[in-house]
Structure 1
Amino acid sequence: MIREADRSTGVLLASPPCEQCSWRRNMSDPQAESVLERDSGMPASTWRLRSDAWEFLRFAVKRLVYGDGSEVSEALAPDGEIRRSLRTLETVEMYWAGFGRRYTREIGELLDEGKFQIALDRIGKVVNRLRTAGTPEEATNLAVEEDEVETDVDPRPRFEVLVIDETTEADREAMHADVLRMRSSADAFVYEYVIVPSADDAVAAVLTNPNILACVIRPGFSERTKRSLSSDLRRSIELAHGAVTAPQTSLRNQLQSVQRVLGLADTLASVRPELDLYLMAGAHIEDLAGSLTKRFRRIFRREDQLELHLSLLRRVSHLYDTPFFSAIQDHARRPVGVFHALPVARGGSVVSSKWIRDLADFYGLNLLLAETSATSGGLDSLLAPVHTLKKAQELAARAYGAKHTFFVTNGTSTANKIVHQALVSPNEVVMVDRNCHKSHHHSVMLTGARPAYLEAYPLNEFAFYGAVPLSQIKQMLLDYRAAGRLDEVRMVTLTNCTFDGIVYDPARIMAECLTIKPDLVFLWDEAWFAFGAFHPVTRRRTAMASAKQLEQQLKTSAHAAAYQEQQERLFDADGNAAPDEVWINERLIPSPDARIRVYATQSTHKTLTALRQGSMIHVYDQDWVRDAEDPFHEAYMTHTSTSPNYQILASLDIGRRQVELEGFELVQRQLDLATSLKQSISRHPLLKRTFRVLTGHDLIPEEYRGVGGPMPLREGLSNMWEAWDHDEFVVDPSRITIEISRSGVSGDTFKHELLMDRYGIQVNKTSRNTVLFMTNIGTSRSAIAYLIEVLVKLAERFEEESAQRDPDQLVPEEVPMPPLPDFSSFAPEYASDEVLRDGDMRRAFFKGQRRNNVEYVLGDDLRARVEAGEQPVSAAFVTPYPPGFPVLVPGQVVSREVLAFMQVLDTREIHGYDPLRGYRILK
């Protein structure tokens, strides 16, 4: 067994216990309370490190119980693994409730007294609790011995409450006793206290313990921790404190203690905004109440323990509430006579059938009992929600940090169409990434807007695109300003994160674009980034968090002063703008009067719990009521079915409950597993000869890199935090792109014939020489182990085939992949002018729908035409899928670069292209 210390959490890192394994450790400080450094390259794994440490301790003490006694002296040596594990766990358990530090110390005392069986029983209780509280895999796949079963575990959902205050051991025991005294059998939930003495320890606790759902701040806490924390965790704490501005209050006498409390509250809210904050104050509580309510849900005096208890339970019940899912359940239980549509409702056409009863056998009767129509009464209407659906969407808005949220039951493709139609009018310009999902191109065509295509940087070696540099976006806006057409530009649309995991800095992009045009609207396609809202680092680059950050920033006096100072550099005394180079090279500061108008579309079903096609639209628009609400609802009704799938809606509701209550834990696990997979491939002697894990240095060109290393999370949470704070682009750690050129097979063959058909491993996307693996909140450690096992088998096969190949046999040269094609141009008859890139795509599209206006031309014939100097014009969208962005759009000139790319493309599914007849070209 390999044991490291985890730099980001201060937790023991261990692989699953194995009796044949031995631990490798750092002996530089055997007496230290906790040595919290780890080997470079090991991922931060808070969710599993604690349980693994207890698992090893159980294994080691079990050997003492059943051994012959010869190993006792060595095993219990001060510098031995058992003592070191206990010291580390004593530090770790400070940030967790349940058994706690005292329980850990008592185990050490039992070992000192030679009471090994009693110590083993106590350790077994911890291991059993951690197993049953973990993932289903951990709860079912690990055998629990009879002597370890804990029969008195409360089955009710359990959460933890962080209390920040300097306390004595007696105080802590009294607080825990109060919790037990107030607990009632009628309570729906059970909670326990985690008590820490300092602000630093509070931040460490909320960064490491995902079970914490509420914080109680008592003014007696100190600022700095006395614990031996790792350098990475200390740096993460500093970054968390530095992420918020100095608190301001309306109190006449801003006491230092008040400022300390406010500063800690702001830090905790920044790191984990889903946490409820409570203040337990003493004197002058009435004066404080009016000034601090924006930060705290309630303020109590210390004697109000019962009120605090009831508030904690009540608040978690609000998070647990799923109004629409509960309504569906209630409807399914009610006896109903169906004299309406839907023969399948209540199972009427199924359970009495001789031929399709297997439908109910397979899906279950509840699916049929829950089927109904909004017009039949009993459930809310998606098109005009007033009860349970309305509340469910409001709860989703709270969870994702939006002003408004709308459920969509037919995918983010439809969500994109809704937003485009609501915000854009014919002949307005939409600046859009040419490599975004095809639904955006279709949306632009439907609205009659004119697309101005932005080009992402190409990654020609791997045959896919990265992201659009900010300098290009700014330059296009400046070009429209120079042409006198800036007023025509309505919206900027970008994909965050991209299919391959490139993540923008939305706050910076929006700020700098708003400096040039203060009323721009932004649509962020976050189809693959819904999970980002539930991790302290990834949240910072979501559209909704960025919109809130920008809104708060614009209100500060410091921002107003910085804006005025920069304006003097950007404009001379006569109001003439500085050269474009100045605007491009400076980090632009928007006017305090700029409007924050931000929309995000998310495929909830892609990365969080929801049924297929379950998506959401999130809105953070300061001009919503005045300028967007009515057209949005019209667009919503245009594209939303009057018969939405209620099961999809219910899944969106209950999936929201999940991420509010355990999203941090699930996303952290997702990122940790991905990092473990990358490391396993990079370090395995056989795998690294065959496969190469692409890092940030492969996926982000040098000119767009910042402080981030190849894999920032591998180096610790603080490294990832700094990169996501400062770099123009970062890479989503949950994506693992593997370059497979040395395997000798194409990405498509690798995906279909080897991974899927032979081993049942599903992947979404490949390029000519890469395969993209993605972890999600449902990925397990067993799944990662299975994938590694399969990759080893494939690597062995590839090496054997290479070794067996006849050296005299000629191997056909692989056709080289041509450079990825940029957007050529709109044909002159569809282009807006000869200077800028936008064009009338809708007119070309509808012309191409008439048979007499088009002809089909095979690829070879079309290449001959282009080489002869013709400029054929596409009549249709030509879209390889995946990833789903068009290579050609209606009205676009067909270039030799596009044809060269299409000639060697090995994607099996290409929308808009007929392999028998060829390309559809306007006559």
Structure 2
Amino acid sequence: MTASPVCLMVVASHDGRWLHETVQGLNALAARQEAVPGLRFLPAASADEALRLAGEEGDVQGVLVDESMPARGAIALVDALNQLRPELTLYVLLDNDDEKAMVDTLSADSVNGYFFREERDWASWLRIIHAELVDKSATPFFDRLRRYVAMAKDSWHTPGHCGGDSLRASPWVRDFFDFAGEDMLRADLSVSVPMLDSLLHPTGVIHQAQKLAAQAFGARRTFFATNGTSTANKVIVQTLLAPGDMLLLDRNCHKSVHHAVILSGARPVYLDSSVNRQYGIFGPVPKATLLAAMDAHPQAKALILTSCTYDGFRYDLAPIIEAAHARGIKVIVDEAWYGCARFHPALRPTALECGADYATQSTHKVLSAFSQASMIHVNDPDFNGHLFRENLNMHTSTSPQYGLIASLDVARKQAVMEGYKLLSRALRLAAELREQINATGVFRVLSLEEMLPEDVRDDGVRLDPTKLTVDISASGYSADELREVLFERFNIQVEKSTFNTLTLLVTLGATRSKVSRLYDAMLRLARERRPPAVRQRMPEIPRFTQLACLPRDAFYESGERLPLFDEHGQPNPALVGRVSCDQVTPYPPGIPVLVPGQVIDLSILNYLARLGASQKSIELHGVDESLGEPALRVLSADELVLLPGGRLDN
């Protein structure tokens, strides 16, 4: 049975008599109002008590602050509450208009409204609070979609299954109808339904949903993306950079960023990330490297970083962004793995709070949206909305999946209304799971100090506590074996692995039962006491060499294909000095060892050879095997000579 929502509102005042009467009066009215089920008011006789309630009670949705509070004062309390939980609805209780002017000046962005305390017009207060909660918890697109489905209109438009009608009576595919569910199939609609707005040019319910998302995530503008953060990254890069414009980027960025470089014609400056060689974990680019790159390339137009990384590393973004802005560089942060951070102080500050111009988030990764559902958040004061929209439309399908859009609307609502509560639970479960895994005596969750590469130890890097990296070295299992046994014997699927670690994600969907089952599985495996395994460590990815031309120019040439190995099975010396046309990416870890336009050297060839010999489960994306043997597509001598600009140097 689904629980009814609870909405707690804290009333903070040092006037005990007034506080008691006000809370009693508001609760009495709220109990009689059917329109506001679950609404209840809690007294707080001090600023500290108000902060305690907001921190401990995840169902607190707002606070009414008496302006005459002593000690910390109302303004200080409003600021503290906003720092703790920016999603809270905050009202200030005033004695006169002069006080309103003062509070309005100092906290205009933080305060939702004002009441005059001595009027004791509790019915009016209740109406306003209720209206604010309704607005805050609205899902304009999902509500309209559900309403349209309930209208049961005959479909004479796409998609061809007509709300599942082509599937329901089929003896061959009725099982898919049953599996997907009638409501989901009825909601699979098209742009032929005007009342559902247009993702390509939103003016109605999608526009409203995006405005609510911007408010929730602290952005000036928010855009929904139904092709994942891969598309979001491409859209931003193409908006900010014209062919030949310079971009500073972490070589460890998601492959979509590298694809964006090709599509935009930008000139990239690739920066090597830090590496923990003991565990095969790639960390942030050292701050000194970033600052040196900004100084060495004053013409750079943008910097793109990933924070947090797949393994949970978070840059100390504020000083990096400040340095970039001082040089006129726009900052893009791929926050795909950190879309939940806004809703808990243990995870903040977010990229936007640190001053980023753009942040992309995979809402589906750590919040409750469907796969492929992402958001683009914009705080760029120089935002070119027309150019951005043209690039977004270039990549967005003209037939977006409306279920994805609805899931973004719903995920935002959940994050605002109960994100703090659910994240508090997730953080507690992550801490418990860390202790339990460590207690097995065989498996061990790595600390930040153990994971952090040496050359970023003084950079203020933090670790997302909801991402657990487990050292399996003492278990006797290889990572592939352990993943398989967890799946086959214990029905557990983990996120990823290196040669000696597993990564576990603790999200809003984590439960104590899941934690117990995982701990039980790891305890049983630890007790088996297998002999230590002989491990083959992944070879180290060589440092970036240099670019001979723009990645776009190399990618769009025909090139020629040369075998990766010679007739003796050794790295083909004919490839040394040649220029790659493709992006070659071992997966995992997903870091390109070659990008289009990059000069190939012997260390790269040796790395690919060692990788193929020692890591059979690694996929090599970008290697051409169409002729029956692995080959690399490289520029011919004639093509290289004819390319504009000659050899580029990073």
Which of 478, 485, 500 is 2:311 aligned to? 500
Taking the TM superposition and a 5 Å limit, the aligned residue runs for 1:25-44 are: none
Question: CA 1:455–1:702 in 2, change beyond 3 Å: closer, same or farther?
Answer: closer
Which of 516, 522, 540 is 1:819 aligned to? 540
Question: CA 1:862–1:614 in 2, change beyond 3 Å: closer, same or farther?
Answer: farther
Report how far residue 311 of structure 1 moved.
1.4
Which of 531, 541, 546 is 1:802 aligned to? 531
Unaligned runs of 5+ in 1: 1-131, 137-154, 225-259, 481-485, 548-596, 707-726, 804-810, 831-839
Which residue does 2:338 correspond to in 1? 529
Q: Write the deviation string for residues 758-813 of structure 1: whole angstroms up to 9, x where unpaired.
A: 3221122111111111111101111111111111122222x1x339xxxxxxx8x5
Which of 203, 208, 217 is 2:65 aligned to? 217
Which of 777, 796, 817 is 2:508 aligned to? 777
SS in 1 for 2:477: coil
CA distance in 2, matches of 1:495, 1:814: 30
Q: Write the deviation string for residues 535-590 of structure 1: whole angstroms up to 9, x where unpaired.
A: 123221x121222xxxxxxxxxxxxxxxxxxxxxxxxxxxxxxxxxxxxxxxxxxx
Which of 348, 367, 382 is 1:623 aligned to? 382
Report how far residue 676 of structure 1 moved.
1.3
Q: Percent identity?
A: 34
Which of 272, 293, 296 is 2:111 aligned to? 296
SS in 2 for 1:497: coil
Which residue does 2:149 correspond to in 1? 332
Max Rg structure: 1
Which of 821, 843, 857 is 2:564 aligned to? 857
Q: Which amino acid aligns with 1:187?
A: A
Q: Is the 8 A contact 2:324 2:331 kept in 1?
A: no
Q: Write the deviation string for residues 836-869 of structure 1: whole angstroms up to 9, x where unpaired.
A: xxxx11111122xx3x622232388685444x99
Say what the alpha-carbon RMSD is for the aligned residues.
2.4
CA distance in 2, matches of 1:755, 1:796: 15
CA distance in 1, matches of 2:323, 2:99: 43
Which residue does 1:491 correspond to in 2? 302
Q: Is the 8 A contact 2:344 2:423 kept in 1?
A: yes
Report how far residue 394 of structure 1 moved.
0.6
CA distance in 2, matches of 1:860, 1:898: 19
TM-score of the superposition, structure 1-length normalised? Answer: 0.65
The number of residues matched between the two structures is 625
- Structure 1 residue 879 corresponds to structure 2 residue 585: yes
Which residue does 1:743 correspond to in 2? 475
Higher mean C-alpha displacement, 376-385 vs 326-335: 376-385
Report how far residue 348 of structure 1 moved.
2.4
Taking the TM superposition and a 5 Å limit, the aligned residue runs for 1:402-551 are: 402-480=219-297, 486-487=298-299, 489-515=300-326, 517=327, 519-540=328-349, 542-547=350-355
Q: Is the 8 A contact 1:854 1:875 kept in 2?
A: no
Unaligned runs of 5+ in 2: 637-650
- Structure 1 residue 919 corresponds to structure 2 residue 650: no
Taking the TM superposition and a 5 Å limit, the aligned residue runs for 1:98-137 are: none
SS in 2 for 1:378: helix
Taking the TM superposition and a 5 Å limit, the aligned residue runs for 1:553-564 are: none
Q: Is the 8 A contact 2:494 2:504 kept in 1?
A: yes
CA distance in 1, matches of 2:476, 2:596: 37
Which residue does 2:639 correspond to in 1? none
Question: CA 1:513–1:304 in 2, change beyond 3 Å: closer, same or farther?
Answer: same
Which residue does 2:445 correspond to in 1? 693
Q: Is the 8 A contact 1:506 1:543 kept in 2?
A: yes
Question: CA 1:381–1:793 in 2, change beyond 3 Å: closer, same or farther?
Answer: same
CA distance in 2, matches of 1:815, 1:368: 48
Q: Which amino acid aligns with 1:507?
A: A
Which of 831, 839, 843 is 2:553 aligned to? 843
Whichever structure has more helix as a proportion of its residues is 1
Question: CA 1:895–1:204 in 2, change beyond 3 Å: closer, same or farther?
Answer: farther
Which residue does 1:312 correspond to in 2? 129
Q: Is the 8 A contact 2:499 2:536 kept in 1?
A: no
SS in 2 for 1:794: helix
CA distance in 2, matches of 1:513, 1:869: 38
Which residue does 2:430 correspond to in 1? 674
Q: Is the 8 A contact 1:863 1:896 kept in 2?
A: no
SS in 2 for 1:343: coil
Report how far residue 825 of structure 1 moved.
2.2
Which residue does 2:642 correspond to in 1? none
SS in 1 for 2:375: strand
Q: Which amino acid aligns with 1:766?
A: S
Q: Is the 8 A contact 1:396 1:405 kept in 2?
A: yes
CA distance in 1, matches of 2:46, 2:369: 39
Q: Which amino acid aligns with 2:324?
A: C
Question: CA 1:168–1:376 in 2, change beyond 3 Å: closer, same or farther?
Answer: closer
SS in 2 for 1:385: coil
Which of 177, 194, 198 is 2:42 aligned to? 194
Q: Which amino acid aligns with 2:38?
A: V
Which residue does 2:641 correspond to in 1? none
Which residue does 1:910 correspond to in 2? 620
- Structure 1 residue 165 corresponds to structure 2 residue 6: no
SS in 1 for 2:308: coil
Report how far residue 477 of structure 1 moved.
1.6
Q: Is the 8 A contact 1:285 1:299 kept in 2?
A: no
Q: Which amino acid aligns with 2:231?
A: T
Report how far residue 206 of structure 1 moved.
1.7
Q: Is the 8 A contact 2:9 2:63 kept in 1?
A: yes
Which residue does 2:462 correspond to in 1? 730
- Structure 1 residue 661 corresponds to structure 2 residue 417: yes
Which of 877, 888, 894 is 2:600 aligned to? 894
CA distance in 2, matches of 1:859, 1:617: 46
Question: CA 1:782–1:285 in 2, change beyond 3 Å: closer, same or farther?
Answer: same
